[in-house]
Amino acid sequence: MQPAHNLHAQWRISLARQLAERLSTFDGVQAMVIAGSVARGYADEYSDLEIPIFWDQQPDDVTRQALIATLPASFLYAYDGPSHEDQLLIQGLQVDLWHNTVSDENAVIEAVLRGYSTDLGDSNFMDTIRTCIPLYGDAIILEWKRRAQEYPDELARRVIGEHLPAFSTSELALHVHRHNPSAFYACLCHLQQKVFLVLLALNHAYFPTFKWMYYSLEAMQVKPPDVARRFRQAFSVPCAEAMADTAQVLQETLELVEQLVPQMDTALVRRRLAYTRAAHKKPIRL
């Protein structure tokens, strides 16, 4: 759903524009955007409003306190001193202001596009820029958006190479045998997240945070069949059934990697996927 068709997003966008008029009067503010669920069109009645602000230099405490008074807003909890984020309440709505500098974010873009950074925070910034709604400083934001459309093939290879080695169901099997559902579902979540990160790279998509995993999976072109539904279903079927389908999803994802990134060496991953720890009921004597 796009913001224009989402009533929960619409009025939050309108509020953000009103807030931006006040925030843009402060010296040092270079650009502002709407981010998060509101920008993506995913907002519901519980959604907050995220407004990253890009400065020429980080604002000091006096400036941040003045921002709050100008809106006007109150701190969600308490003022916590030096920080890159202020969590606020405006008439009961949570509004998060994120403070970053233009120079720091330019460095992030360079680190991703030229240094092939696989850091999830760096990747999330690129995703935020791709999806954000400009509020102020359009020239800066539109140039960032142009650059964020790029996703180097080498970056995809590095992301895949970083997360593919986690593909294994050996631990899941142990948790099933030991009747440990807490450990089983923790391991299941970890594997689903690793699949998600590999699929993002195959689709040349940046990291939107795991909060948006299902939305992102549904929108992907390259993925195992019906993977979002299968991920959800894994939490409502018996553990052994969830493990079997997870193994199949891992296999299907690996096959996509081998098809689309044929230079990737997947021999070790295949051995891990094939491995099952044997039960030993009798002592071993040498």
Low-confidence ranges of the chain (pLDDT < 50): none
Which burial class, exposed, middle or buried, applies to 206 when counting CB atoms under 10 A from its CB (0-12, 13-18, 19+)? buried
The DSSP letter of residue 166 is G
Supply the pLDDT for residue 199.
98
pLDDT value at residue 1: 53
Are 202 and 156 contacting, i.e. CB atoms less than 8 angstroms apart?
yes
Per the confidence metrics, is the pTM higher than 0.85? yes
Q: What pLDDT is attached to residue 64?
A: 92
pLDDT at 2: 61
Tell me the three state secondary structure of residue 274. helix
Return the pLDDT at 125.
Answer: 97
In a 10 Å sphere around its CB, with 0-12 CB exposed, 13-18 middle and 19+ buried, how is residue 37 labelled? buried
User: What pLDDT is attached to residue 107?
Assistant: 98
Helix, strand or coil, per DSSP, at residue 44: coil
Strand 49-55 to strand 93-101: parallel, antiparallel, or no bridges (unpaired)? parallel
Cα–Cα distance for residue pair 141/111, rounded to 1 Å: 18
